[in-house]
Structure 1
């Protein structure tokens, strides 16, 4: 069994913001697997799918970004999912729009949702797929940037990156994180 958690904030006002890229990737993955993420469980929205003989849990924490770890840890503890079978998908300002970076473990890089997950799990030994949302230009504040929408050519780039991130998650499950890193860490939309 695998848990794929996409990070974001609940509510219509956040639906298409940069910070909700994790939710959007999960929506694409659910569409690809022909499932719905609509069961309320573990302080989140949950969908169940099957892929190559593996049961997949698709989780969108509804705790707001900074408390994502509560939802993720509840699901992991309930199903006794090993850390090696966890994939977290989230936005990263340190990557240009459309870039992906996959890692088998590591720090949060200052991402509050990841801080929460690492704290709740007392470990950073789980796979993650970071989707680039770019840095704000000039003196624009980071909060306004991550809670803003994509525009212009960014829309095409982020759509391609989200599709690639969904493919990368499935590749991690079927062939392992190293294979996914080799294929997608050079990806740039």
Structure 2
């Protein structure tokens, strides 16, 4: 069995510490914990491979910009024959307060609609949904807080964290990494149960 963990973000040093790149940041921590090198480049992706018992997994960053994240998901899912429910996506979530995160597990029955999922306003998630023709992948949304009313959303997302925000992200990083590993090696439902 093959599974895929994607961390969403924008490539390039200029975006490295921006709010929109939390998925990249967490994926780097997951890779460090699992001793996986993200050193393979193919088709606008960079990824690393790992093994856990009989299961193999990929840790991947799309090298497209955020709005085209689905291209990387579709390429890797097709190339490696990974089913949608075996994909985990880590992203920045403006509907979750900074310093918190949420796990939305994939479902065993893709026809069973979960209205909670349809509240996600994130271009990377939308792109993946459109490319895979399914929403039935596990989503781990790392809270970055809501965009202030007097600020353009794009400006908010593509700005670096404040010192206080960076501390709040650091404080929850270990738990997000743990939730990701539980979702990967045990089940997304177990991750949600532990961190809901």
Provide TM-score, normalisation by structure 2.
Answer: 0.89
Alpha-carbon separation, structure 2, partners of 1:184 and 1:120: 29
Which residue is 1:30 aligned to?
Answer: 31
Structure 1 position 52, deviation (Å) = 4.7
Call closer, same or farther: CA 1:108–1:70 in 2, change over 3 Å: farther
C-alpha distance after superposition, 1:85-135 (max 9, x if no partner): 110000011111111111124337121001110000000011010000012
Which residue is 1:168 aligned to?
Answer: 179
Q: Tell me if structure 2 keeps the 8 A contact 1:108–1:118.
A: no
Q: What are the within-5 Å matches in structure 2 for residues 173-184 of structure 1?
A: 173-184=184-195
Mind listing any 5+ residue stretches in structure 2 that lack a counterpart? 107-116
Equivalent residue pairs, number: 185
- From 94, 119, 129, give the equivalent of 2:130: 119
**Which deviates more, 144-153 or 15-24?**
144-153
Alpha-carbon separation, structure 1, partners of 2:172 and 2:188: 17
RMSD between superposed Cα atoms in Å:
1.4
Query: What SS does structure 2 have at the residue aligned with 1:143?
Result: helix
Provide TM-score, normalisation by structure 1.
Answer: 0.92
Alpha-carbon separation, structure 2, partners of 1:30 and 1:168: 14
* Misfit runs of 4+, over 6 Å: none
In the alignment, is residue 98 of structure 1 matched against residue 99 of structure 2?
A: yes
Structure 1 position 31, deviation (Å) = 0.7
C-alpha distance after superposition, 1:133-169 (max 9, x if no partner): 0123340221111111111321121012232221111
Alpha-carbon separation, structure 2, partners of 1:130 and 1:63: 20
Mind listing any 5+ residue stretches in structure 1 that lack a counterpart? none
Which residue is 2:8 aligned to?
Answer: 7
